[in-house]
Every structure is written in C-alpha cells, then in structure tokens.
Amino acid sequence: MDISKRTRLALLVCFISLSSTVNAHSRAHIHIYESATEQTDAEKLSRAVDYFQSGKFHEALIWFSKLDSKYKLNPRFQAYMGVCCYYDGEYERAVATLEPILTKLNVFAPHELAVYYYCVAESYFRLKKYIDAVPLFEKHTLLCYNNEKGDSLLRIGMCYKHMRDIENAQEYFIEALAYYRRYNNQDKLNYIERELKRLADN
C-alpha cells in the first residue's frame, strides 16, 4: 500500500536537489559549529546527507543523530532525520522528530512537505494510532501529486475500517478507487474492490 521506498526517495531527492545544495546547506548553517571542529563536523554533515541521498537511511540516521545531540540541527536536517527514522522502522521516533517541526517546514515546496506529512501519518498508522493518522493523511492529499493521492485515501479508509466506522471507510475507499482507475493501478484496484466487498458482506 505504500508508495515504494525507491520512488518516494527519488521524488524527494529530485525536488529538493540535494546533490546540488548540500554544500550550500553546510555553509548556511556552519556558524553553529566551533571553529576548531568546523571541518570535521561539516564533513560529517555532508556524509549524513550523502547517505540519505543514496537511500542508506540507517547510516544517515547515525550521523544525523550524533550531530543533533552535539548541536541542534536546523528544521530541514531534523526533517531528514525524521524520514530516516521512518524508513528505519523507528515509528515513534519518526513522529517525535517530525511532528513538532511540521509548521516550521511550511516554507518548503508542497511536494517536499508532503513527504514529511506522509512519514508522520504512516508512522501513526503503523503504531495503530489511527485517529492521529487521519488528519495527517488528509493533509498529505492536499500537498502531494495527484498520482499519490490514492495511497493516502486508501490509508484513511483503512483507518476508519480499524475504527469500525464503515460508512467513512467505504467513502474513502471509493475515492481512492477513482484515483487508481485514473492512473491504472490494477493491483490497488483489486485490493480496494476486495475491501469494499468485505465491508458490504459485513
């Protein structure tokens, strides 16, 4: 049901152009480092972003965490750290890292912001905190590309199903169905049709 790890990472990396901006980020925020350790810590930050860019989230998380415990990283780097937590399966930590800074990330482009909302929403879903996940998935649908909306609508439907709100579950499944038909996602279409049949049979 998730947007694939490779696709989501590629979209994020493409949108924020990490490969061309990492040095700019380092220069813009290097004032937080002591001059005696400037080069060493700048290299660590660069290494963390390189790991993040290449999808090595566990390794990136180690380096981001070390730097964040020594200094307070700016919201964008904290957001990267939260994404790493999500992909590393540390869902509680992903929520704790990302959710408090979401409002600070509003200056970023909508699709980059959509990634952060999805990571928090999906983390809540994996933690079975469905009532907390719903508004974040809804926010994601307002920020993401149209071909991604079906995934969040499906998740909202699943949240309502788990909360035994069958009417709302059916409504969101039907909305998701429309997007999957539009973008010809047969596997997801088959899945939702089965879910709708189960709800109707119950």
Domain span(s) for CATH 1.25.40 in the chain: 1-128
For the segment 21-67, what is each residue's pLDDT rounded down to a tens digit? 344 444 444 344 434 345 588 888 999 999 999 999 999 999 999 99
Query: What's residue 39's pLDDT?
Result: 54
| CA–CA gap between residue 35 and residue 33 (Å, rounded) | 6
The model carries a pTM of 0.79
CATH number of 1-128: 1.25.40
Containing 66, the helix (H) or strand (E) segment is helix 57-70
What tokens appear for 48 in the block?
Answer: 């963390």
Q: What is d(CA 186, CA 192) in angstroms, rounded to the nearest whole number?
A: 10
